[in-house]
Structure 1
């Protein structure tokens, strides 16, 4: 028969062995995953990995078919009476094309009225 102290000692030894086994297993997994080097992998324009056998097309531009979005101008203003709150307003360029077409149309009407 085992005494209560021997049972407690045996259980603590088994728990210690289990923890060491789990720790060793974790170290093996960590070594396996840390050895993977992806610095030489090719990526597409979205940053996703390309297949290993993918042939890169040689071109000067990053996106041939896509339009390059122009940088937008933002105006950041602090909101009065608040702490660390800001209002972000986009500065819009005015579209004068509609006004120019209207002036041309009015010019044609005035010239046709005069003649």
Structure 2
């Protein structure tokens, strides 16, 4: 599943053929891509999607790092307003997981770390 939109929909529990929420998910994903670009993840010139045609390898080539980016993107889309958990403990757990992933992605893509 290389499509960014399709894979995030799957992680959110939405069937690929259901397009009712695509515009909302695309908007949230583009916000996530802006944040990732500011963290140094993905293309330096920025990135945005318009639908299911855009692929993960267009945003990030490394498949190992792409897995973390996919998980982070899905968490952030959920937290930004799509299917926000009603339980405060579930919400806190999701926020903490997103914050940890954000920190790890930031560290992973920090160009100021010395080469090993």
Shorter-chain-normalised TM-score: which range? Answer: under 0.3
Given the two structures, how large is their TM-score scaled by the length of structure 2?
0.19
Given the two structures, how large is their TM-score scaled by the length of structure 1?
0.19
